[in-house]
Amino acid sequence: MLSEINSLLFGSVLLVSFVASVLYLVFFFNQKEKLRRLARKILLGSGILQSLYIISRYFIAGHTPITSQHEAVTFFAWSVTWAYLSFHWRYSVKNFGTFISLLVLILLLIAASVSRAFHPLAPALQSLWLPVHASISVMAYGFLALAFCGGIMYLIQEWELKSKRLGFFFSRLPSLDALDQLNNHCLTTGFVLLTLGIITGSVWARQAWGAYWQWDPKETWSLITWFLYAAQIHQRLTAGWRGKRAAVMAIVGFCAVLFTLWGVTFLLGGVHSYGR
Amino acid sequence: MAGERILLLGVNHKNTPLEVREKLALSSGYEEPLQALGKIEGLREYYLLSTCNRVEILVSANDDADVERELSRFLFGEAISPEQYKKYLYCYHNEEAIHHLFMVAASLDSMIVGEAQILGQLKEAYRWSAEQKCTGPILNKLMHKAFSVAKRVRSETRIGSSAVSISYAAIELARKIFGSLENKRVLLIGAGEMAELAAEHLVGNGAKDVVVANRTLERALDLAKRFNGHAVGLDELFEQLEQVDIIVSSTGAPGIILHKDDVKPLMRNRRNKPLFFIDIAVPRDLDPALNDLDNVYLYDIDDLNNVVELNKAERDKEAVKASRIVDEEALKFKDWLAGLAITPTIAALREKGNKVSMMELERTLPRLKNLTPKEQKSVEKMAAAIVSRLLHDPVVFLKSESCKDQSEMKVDFFRSIFDLEKKE
């Protein structure tokens, strides 16, 4: 019964997110304000459904559902959605929703394409640190994903301004300044969460395996990612790095995040390689 | 209402030179001219619009009154002879007048198509007329419709969204770089007229500080005073470049005055805050390679012209869409007016029908002595039913779409068939 509800929920998450993306795309072309408001409501609906889905999986599995590939990616999509929705209450960046809704849809499609089986949790990992470490890390990824989308938008807009070919995107994308602020805000938030994620992870590792750090590939790559972002934030604070460089770094950093999430699991293995 | 027509007279920037528009007798606000209009005989409702690009009078007048000549005399005063003004004046009737009004409101008839000011001017003019009780049911409806047409055009097309002059293009670009111009500082290199105009636009859009650098300090001081800014010599240029955000260069210098290598080291001190260079000088003042620097954007006069041309093409496309909306709405309004014209005729027809049936009943009922009150009621009902059945089809015909263009003729014809009283 519960598992039926569960798969029904995931189906509706996919459907609702798809509708939101389509509406946002249509809005991107015709720029009708009514459509944007509708799309946003539907994305909010998708966010709520995603939350329900994750909760339902929690009850079935009996632990925080972040131990399989499917669960990790779904959690990722959830964090992007809610990072965006929470962000939106503070600033408004023109047409940001179109990019975010597409990213969320892509993540959900990836989640849909892998096995949705439940994995029992090794006794060593059954700890309160699991939800704490995992959810902080995934929220960090959510904000870093926003910075990634902002970076792409920045590069497009900057290209149009530099090449003086003011075309389709020029009027539809926000100002460079707004995108740079978005980059700054999301990276700072994401970086703080990422740091917390690594710290909680190492505390948990001490508890579970007896050592704070053991150079497991996932740990190594998290650290590389962390240094990439740390370098960028340092440069912004000291030398005033901004604009194109900051945008490129946000994209590079996010690629490292993606590699940490998938590349490591499939290519390098290690204790974090869940759900293979 | 039968016997009424809508008339729109005016002159605009398209066919009337400024010298003539200046002479029009309407420079003193709306109050006096509206009072003067009120004295013209045959006007039922009237409204007056006066902007620097157009003067227009819109009236609803009695059919038989020759208000056209009166109105043009009012418009041109004694200053210009009738032979002279004939070539300037346009005069639209009914549907054409409605269509023209909607075109004006939607900013399709403006000098800069799509500019937003005209709607505000229209509303202001209407407010004056309405306050002085010069408008009635028809103009009230018509003006409100014009406002809603303008709103519809604005929300359904992107006609007002692109900049079609160099200054506007520069502002649009600055907005895409800086977000808002609020608190941005402007440096003018060279104190020519073009620089002044550009600075005016930038300040008008929120820029905070204007610094003027010029070869002769005196001229720089003059210009700086206009914007509450300050003046510097050309030798202080690099210092200033660390502080400002937008640079407008328009010197008469024969060669490049600012090179890429001059600006590059400055970016570090600026902490990479963006710089927007606008080079409107010919020959150019600024090194085209400046544009290659990170966070530096350079547009010269040709680039700006290209933006303007691009926007114009886009705007023309949107204008076609907007005209379609105007056509559609003008047609709808015409239908409403036509409906207004037939309402009294239908009422008169029904009244006549009732009268006939009452008359016949009065004649017949006294003769039918044995009727119970109930039966008497039935006979009355039957008479009324026959009349309304019989009139149903003609009324439908009157309201129908057929021969809509000649609705006035139709009404006249109808009235003579049923021998309804002549319209007043």
Q: Say whether both A4 and A108 belong to one domain.
A: yes
State the CATH architecture for B166-308: 3-Layer(aba) Sandwich (3.40)
Residue A237 pLDDT exceeds 80: yes
Give domain status of residue A26, yes or no.
Answer: yes
Q: Say whether both A110 and A180 belong to one domain.
A: no
- For an interface test with B, the pick among A33, A36, A166 (most B C-beta atoms closer than 10 Å) comes out as A166
Q: Say whether both A92 and A134 belong to one domain.
A: no
Query: Which residues of B belong to the active site?
Result: 52
Least confident of B122-131, B296-305, B396-405: B396-405
Task: Tell me the mean pLDDT in the region A31-52.
Answer: 91
Q: Say whether both A184 and A269 belong to one domain.
A: yes
- Asked which of A114, A138, A164 is the last residue of a domain, the reply is A114
Tokens describing residue A14: 């996919």
Beta-bridged to residue B249, according to DSSP, are B189, B279
Q: Which one, of B117, B128, B62, B66, lies nearest residue B91 by Cα?
A: B66
Give domain status of residue A120, yes or no.
Answer: no
> What angle in degrees, to the nearest 10, is found between the helix axes of A217-239 and A243-258?
170
Q: Are A247 and A159 in contact (CB under 8 A)?
A: no
Tokens describing residue B13: 């920037």
- For an interface test with A, the pick among B151, B272, B277, B299 (most A C-beta atoms closer than 10 Å) comes out as B272
Total domains present in chain A = 2
Q: Say whether both A130 and A99 belong to one domain.
A: no
Model ipTM value: 0.84
| CATH match of B4-156 with 3.30.460.30 | yes
Rounded Cα–Cα distance for residues A228 and B198 (Å):
43
Region of residue A213 (left: phi > 0; alpha: psi -120 to 50; beta: else): beta
Give domain status of residue A137, yes or no.
Answer: yes
Pick from A164, A166, A175: CB nearest B177: A175
Domain assignment of residue A73, given as a range: 1-114
Residues 10-69 of B with CB under 8 A from A: none
Q: Say whether both A96 and A160 belong to one domain.
A: no
Q: Say whether both A189 and A97 belong to one domain.
A: no
Q: Say whether both A253 and A130 belong to one domain.
A: yes
Contacts of A170 (CB under 8 A, 6+ apart): A157, A160, A161, B176
Rounded Cα–Cα distance for residues A200 and B136 (Å):
75
Task: Tell me the mean pLDDT in the region A181-202.
Answer: 92
Beta-bridged to residue B297, according to DSSP, are B276
Phi, psi (rounded to 5 degrees) for B50: -135, 115
Give domain status of residue A276, yes or no.
Answer: yes
What's the pLDDT score for residue B298? 93
Give domain status of residue A119, yes or no.
Answer: no
Residues 250-289 of B with CB under 8 A from A: 268, 270-274
Give domain status of residue A207, yes or no.
Answer: yes
Residue B27 pLDDT exceeds 80: no
Q: How confident is the model at residue A22 (pLDDT cuts 50, 70, 90)?
A: very high
Q: Say whether both A258 and A145 belong to one domain.
A: yes
Q: Say whether both A89 and A146 belong to one domain.
A: no
For the stretch B268-281, pLDDT in tens is 888 889 999 998 88
Residue spans per domain, chain B: 4-156, 166-308, 336-417
